[in-house]
Amino acid sequence: MTTGQHYIFMIILTVNTGSSSVRLAAFSGDSGALTQLASARYELSDSEPEIMLKAFLDAHGLTEIKVAVHRVVHGGMNLTASCLIDQEVELEIGRVAPLAPLHNPKALRWVRAAGEVLGTGVSQVAVFDTAFFTDLPEVARTYALPHMLAEKHGLRRYGFHGLAHHGMWQSWQGIQPGAGRQGRIISLQLGAGCSITATDNGSPRDTSMGFSPLEGLVMATRSGNVDPGLLTFLLRHENLTPEQLDQLLNDRAGLLGLSGISADVRDLLASTDKLAQLALNVYCYQARKYIGAYFSVLGGAEAVVFGGGVGENVPDVREKILAGMEWCGIDIDLRANRDARGLSCISSGASRVEVWVVPVDEAAGLAREGAALMGKPMQGNLRGYESG
């Protein structure tokens, strides 16, 4: 950006649809600055998207929206970068919806709702969670399946939570004096969905989620890794349809399925039930196992970074995941971990590997990406995903 360059004021709406909720935010841009005007979170079960969107706009007096930016979880093989949404893009988002059944259909519903509420004169942008992992190394993205079958159906590891993992990398890199883009981090995005990524100098080298957001870590209601033979066993012996198996793995497994009590780690931490404790132990064990593996992938790491609702706000989980990892140079400061609020270093002075809690601002990342795509790059004290 050249000194003194001026950009036309515009208001950006961001729409971040999850599996059970949507987060709306609005940002204003003027002279290259970006300021958040409003934000709100709604349960998807509360009402129709059009009603929720109108209520948000009316409550904050937002009448001059110029662009709506949507987080879309899965872009598939063809949507590998942020883009303006047209009919062809809508069709492609719908085509790959079976790969992210909890997310893509809801995002598409909100795209259509925004078009109806805002009108055809407002541009809409899609930002894909898979985009960050487009150039994942071949050895990390390839499944050991017949090559022709993989080519036919696009069977590869796509990776998800790209907005969050790239944002955590940017935040960590930004606080390193003179580090430039150098550094290796292992980032954990822990929320309803959970994933872990190994990033080397800003490029992902491996990630836990794969062809779908089901692979990898134990999650709130998603299973994470299971033996594929177990799935064919269930299909045969429980007489499940593919749709029923999808629902089992997405909605009835994970912490909820293991404990039989709750999908919320805070409920399980407060419980003395043996299955609740087992669920937590499995959850943390799987995360710890991935951290160890990613130290090997990266040949060491400068930092382990926690983000997401659980990663940022539940110190007991962070402590439990990192217990016993002194072998790789991790030593957390228990008091700093307990007291962490916002961007915080929780490793001790003796730790050879930094451990950070990094709040992830996906709305800001969406706004920046939308502004960049519309040809109006904006600056601000924001964390999030950027082009390139």
Copy the structure tokens of residue 42: 């709604």
Q: For residues 74 and 82, give the distance between their C-alpha atoms in angstroms, rounded to a whole number.
A: 12
CB atoms within 10 A of CB 119: 9
Q: For residues 303 and 282, give the distance between their C-alpha atoms in angstroms, rounded to a whole number.
A: 23
Among the options 129, 200, 206, 361, which is catalytic? 129
Q: For residues 130 and 163, give the distance between their C-alpha atoms in angstroms, rounded to a whole number.
A: 9
- What stretches of 105-169 adopt beta strand conformation (E)? 123-128
- Give the contacts of 93 (CB within 8 A, at least 6 positions apart): 72, 74, 75, 79, 104, 107, 108, 111, 126
Q: Is 361 a catalytic residue?
A: no
Q: For residues 128 and 179, give the distance between their C-alpha atoms in angstroms, rounded to a whole number.
A: 28
- Strand 203-207 versus strand 184-190 pairing type: unpaired
CB 123 within 8 A of CB 381: no
Specify the 3-state DSSP secondary structure of 19.
Answer: coil
- Give the contacts of 205 (CB within 8 A, at least 6 positions apart): 136, 137, 140, 198, 199, 297, 298
Q: For residues 112 and 122, give the distance between their C-alpha atoms in angstroms, rounded to a whole number.
A: 12
Q: For residues 120 and 124, give the distance between their C-alpha atoms in angstroms, rounded to a whole number.
A: 9
- Give the contacts of 331 (CB within 8 A, at least 6 positions apart): 347, 348, 350, 351, 352
> Angle at which helices 104-118 and 87-95 pack, to 10 degrees?
160
Q: For residues 95 and 91, give the distance between their C-alpha atoms in angstroms, rounded to a whole number.
A: 6
Q: What are the catalytic residues?
A: 129
